[in-house]
Chain A
Amino acid sequence: MNGNRTRLFDVAVIGAGMAGMATSLFAARRDLSCVQVGNGGGILFASGLLDLLGVHPVADRRRWDCPFEALSSLRRDLPDHPLARVGDDALRAAFEAFVSELGAVGLPYAPLDGANHPVLTSIGTVKTTYAVPRSMMAGVEMMRSRPSCLLVDFRGLREFSARQVVAKIGADWPGLHSVRVEFPGFEAVSELYAAHLARAIESAATRDSVAERVRPLLGDATAVGFPAVLGLSRSGEVHERLQQSLGLPVFEIPTMPTSVPGLRLKDAMEAALAAWRVVRHVQAKVTKVSFDDDVATLSLDDVPGGQTIRARSVVLATGRFTGGGLSAGRGHVSERVLDLPVHQPGTRGEWHRRDFLDPAGHPVNRAGLATDGDFRPLSADGRPAWHRLFATGSILAHQDWMREKCGSGLAIGTAWTAVEAISRGLQAPRKAG
């Protein structure tokens, strides 16, 4: 780590949420040397399901079976939307690259087929998403055909009740049944935590014991659903072995964040970045960035001896309000690292619509950084703030990813496009000015 003090990186990524991770990963895949600052805590809140674009327009809550059809509609209606600026091919390539990297570090996803998928959630609702972890994919098929199916829960695991799921959706799915079993090794423990079960089930003995306890309860089920606790770093293997020993398709049902799939995604991202030799500064914050003609210098807080990073390009992937990229002051939204101008409603009074639950969302939900087509944020004069400063993910303006169900798509797609631009820019001879 000592050598990094004087090293000049190609890319410095600020932020370690989904956008920061995707940006670093794509940059490293293009053989750009990359350093990333941020603790990646945001990813813990992810569900493991990677949305591309599920809903548009939000006011109509229209769901789409095909995200690319949704995209063409979006491009017509909201040309400033960041996703509208990412081409279909780029999005396909970006998602393929992203899930194949995750697969390579032990978190396999079902093959991408260009369609959105319905996923049964732990509260009995159905979520529409694009990329589905392989361990959950059988559930998607079951959702579609709804045959006889067994949902298993574990006594003491509060975040998942199979009986409640059946109660909620059973009217539309008569073959769905629930059973409750003791998780082996935790019989005397009153309150169970998903991650602990996920670690425990990675041991072959525990896995076999779970199968033993479920097998007599199968009845005429054609598939078995479990809460998402089937392994942490070895979920692919656990899932596969469990299918083998039960002789039936097995699927996980994603639980509420923070969940095991979130932990998996975080661990997998860390492993993928490490494999690509991305230098990470976790739990550090960038306090200052200064630019000269060709090099940006980032100052980190709270590192003994003080530390700076030098890089030829910078990507701001600090997220919105919860991620800490934007902060809402009295009547004004500001960008926290560089104090870039933020596209926002004129006054605080216009931030929200009258009805808090208005399906159309609120204008403040579309606040963020305005950029050019390469996702370079603009300064007050409408020109890029620095020629190799980029922004990716939810800090970008003109999108409402939560309602549009496009969070991962936004992060992955903008990261892909920005990294392409960085790669071009670093190879091209520097333009004057």
Chain B
Amino acid sequence: MSASSFRIAVYIALGLCALGLLWRLSAWLRVRIGPDARAIPFHRRLASALHGAFSFAFSRRLPGVLKAFLLDVLLQRRLFAEAKVRWLGHLLILLGFTALLLMHALAALLTQKLFKGYQPTLDPYLFLRNVFGAMAVAGIVLVIAGRRRAQRVAPTAHRLGDRVFVALLSIVMVSGFLLEAQKIASPAAFQRMVDEYFGEDISPEDLSALKAAWAVDYGVAFEDAAADPDPALLETGRELHKDACASCHSLPTSAFVSYPVSRVMGPAVRPLDDVDAAKWLWYLHVFACLLGLAVLPFTRLFHAISDPVSLLVNGAASSRPLSDAGRASRRALAIDACVRCGLCDTRCSVAPIARFMNNASLLPSHKLLSTFRFAREGRGRLRDGARYDRIAEGAFLCSSCGRCTERCPVGLGLDDLWTAQRDDLAAAGHPAAAKWVQSRTASEWADLLPAPPGEGPAVAPLSSDRRTFSPCVQCQTCTNVCPVVAHTAGAGDGVDLTPQKVMNLLRLGMVDLALGSRMVWDCATCYQCQEHCPEGIRVTDVMLELRQSAYRRLATVRDRRRPE
């Protein structure tokens, strides 16, 4: 590839990257999560973001921001507190990748200008490249291992772009090491260097001496290399090497990764030379790099931008609460800043419930994505297959323990996001069950909620057993001690039935009429009725069981795809 076509490729990649970044960054101001965010126009959020960005440097928020940058962004203290292995892995990738980017990828721009006599094949650069590469590879291994372990607890949600970055990074690292290994042992590369350096000015004797030295010291896989070269010849070759090559070529042992790889490749090097493998490996290496650059905004690597911003915003917010517009933008930012590390899922208080109910929508990583999809695809539109009832169940079964927010390594304000999600769902016709029930009267629900097959003693042991309620003498004590009935101030405000009437419906075999009643759903579960019942009827337990029956039946009629 010529220098100019390489340059064009770089510019194309850079251009694509810039466009992508613009799109992704603007999403922080475009995506609206939560009904309150929908009321705030784009320009107000832009103004608030610009104002925030420019003013914090001169405000009392600055110390908070600086602290956040040092501890959270650079040292990743939150990740350290949560998962040591993954913190180490992340740090290794971060340092290795950044160092390679600066020292190696941008050598022409930086290293060459800063360090006289820079040569990629010379120590310390050769050694350091291997060090950095090894760090990145080790980091990838640790991070993947840590993830695997977390996945055993709960399956973390992921997006398409999540694995692209790791895949590309792996390709870059592996192709880089292979390329270096191939070049170390390649007779063709040796010949090219000899041609470039000596041209015609080298005698066949010197050439064979030099080859002998490189065969022994560099492991170049010459076809005609003697297994046990003549010591005198070797000595001559090494002298020659010292004069001509050593100023640019350190010994390959510094390449403590690539050199062993090249030794392993051994006899395969020459056939690879025949197909010009070094060139293709270089193409692969560079192509993967440029592809990574071009799609950067849509890969996990974008978190290198979104996470620091998110952490810095947190730092700023810690000293003064954000404005409405700022909070709206922070929610959109949170979606991008999530790296789906899954640590929230492993700490989630309702994760056991999620497993038992087989509904991953309860887990934070899944909720984050469903929140985003809901916002992106607008109210009332979700891709086919997405189950609103499952998503709503996940949103409303959250116990609001805050562990996900507290433990998030990138400090996302998840609790605020979950509130916004619940509000969004409620506004779109999927409120919590207790609210949803209020949309119809008990008798309407009775028509809509027929008993599903299989409902019986196993799932409704109390209400399906006459012995539960047959002792009821309708003495009204339950109603007399019920605080909910007592504080009903008028029609529509409180309960439609009394506990004693619910018992009577059961006695009459009209359980369907009780299921959607306000009494059942607005029961405070204070157990006054159960405690006071002179017949020892488990009135409150029956109320709760009726709710469970109703919820089970609601799932059968709830629109699974889209709200009204």
Chain B residues with CB below 8 A from A186, complex form: 489
Q: Confirm or deny: A384 has a beta carbon within 8 angstroms of a beta carbon on chain B.
A: no
Name the residue on A nearest B538 (C-beta).
A283
Name the residue on A nearest B488 (C-beta).
A189
Name the residue on B nearest A188 (C-beta).
B490
The answer to whether A41 touches B486 (Cβ under 8 A) is no
Q: Confirm or deny: B147 has a beta carbon within 8 angstroms of a beta carbon on chain A.
A: no
Which of A67-75, A191-199, A366-374, A393-401 faces chain B?
Answer: A191-199
The answer to whether A258 touches B536 (Cβ under 8 A) is no
Name the residue on A nearest B530 (C-beta).
A283
Q: Residue-by-residue, is A168-210 near B (CB-CB < 8 Å gives 1, otherwise 0)?
A: 0000000000000000011111100111100110000000000
Enumerate B490-517 residues with CB–CB distance to A below 8 Å. Answer: 490-491, 493, 498
The answer to whether A45 touches B475 (Cβ under 8 A) is yes
What is the CB-to-nearest-CB distance from B442 to chain A, in angstroms, rounded to a whole number? 16
What is the CB-to-nearest-CB distance from B291 to chain A, in angstroms, rounded to a whole number? 65
Q: Which of B486, B488, B535 has the most CB of A within 10 A?
A: B486
A263 touching B475 in the complex, CB below 8 Å, given contacts A41-B535, A45-B534 = no
What is the CB-to-nearest-CB distance from A198 to chain B, in angstroms, rounded to a whole number? 9
Q: Confirm or deny: A100 has a beta carbon within 8 angstroms of a beta carbon on chain B.
A: no
Give which listed residue, A44, A196, A257, contacts B486 with CB less than 8 A.
Answer: A196
What is the CB-to-nearest-CB distance from A414 to chain B, in angstroms, rounded to a whole number? 22
A260 to B477, CA, bound (A): 10
Q: Confirm or deny: A299 has a beta carbon within 8 angstroms of a beta carbon on chain B.
A: no
Chain A residues with CB below 8 A from B488, complex form: 189
A44 to B493, CA, bound (A): 29
Give which listed residue, A44, A200, A260, contacts B534 with CB less than 8 A.
Answer: A44
Q: Confirm or deny: A222 has a beta carbon within 8 angstroms of a beta carbon on chain B.
A: no
A258 touching B476 in the complex, CB below 8 Å, given contacts A39-B534, A193-B485 = yes
The answer to whether A188 touches B480 (Cβ under 8 A) is no
The answer to whether B480 touches A263 (Cβ under 8 A) is yes
Name the residue on B nearest A263 (C-beta).
B480
The answer to whether A44 touches B477 (Cβ under 8 A) is yes
Query: Chain B: interface residue count, which band?
Result: 20 to 34
A257 touching B475 in the complex, CB below 8 Å, given contacts A44-B534, A188-B490 = yes
Chain B residues with CB below 8 A from A195, complex form: 480-481, 486
Name the residue on A nearest B534 (C-beta).
A41
Q: Confirm or deny: A42 has a beta carbon within 8 angstroms of a beta carbon on chain B.
A: yes
A93 to B332, CA, bound (A): 79
The answer to whether B485 touches A188 (Cβ under 8 A) is no
Chain B residues with CB below 8 A from A45, complex form: 475, 534
The answer to whether A39 touches B491 (Cβ under 8 A) is no
A194 to B535, CA, bound (A): 20
Chain A residues with CB below 8 A from B532, complex form: 41, 44
Q: Confirm or deny: B531 has a beta carbon within 8 angstroms of a beta carbon on chain A.
A: yes
Sampled A-B contacts (24; CB under 8 Å): A39-B534, A41-B533, A41-B536, A44-B532, A44-B534, A45-B475, A45-B534, A187-B490, A188-B491, A188-B493, A189-B490, A190-B491, A193-B479, A193-B480, A193-B485, A195-B481, A196-B480, A196-B485, A258-B476, A260-B480, A263-B480, A263-B481, A282-B531, A283-B536
Residues in chain B within 8 A of chain A (CB atoms): 475-477, 479-481, 485-486, 488-491, 493, 498, 531-536
Closest A-B pairs by Cβ, 10 of them: A41-B534, A188-B490, A195-B480, A196-B486, A258-B475, A258-B477, A44-B534, A193-B480, A44-B477, A193-B479
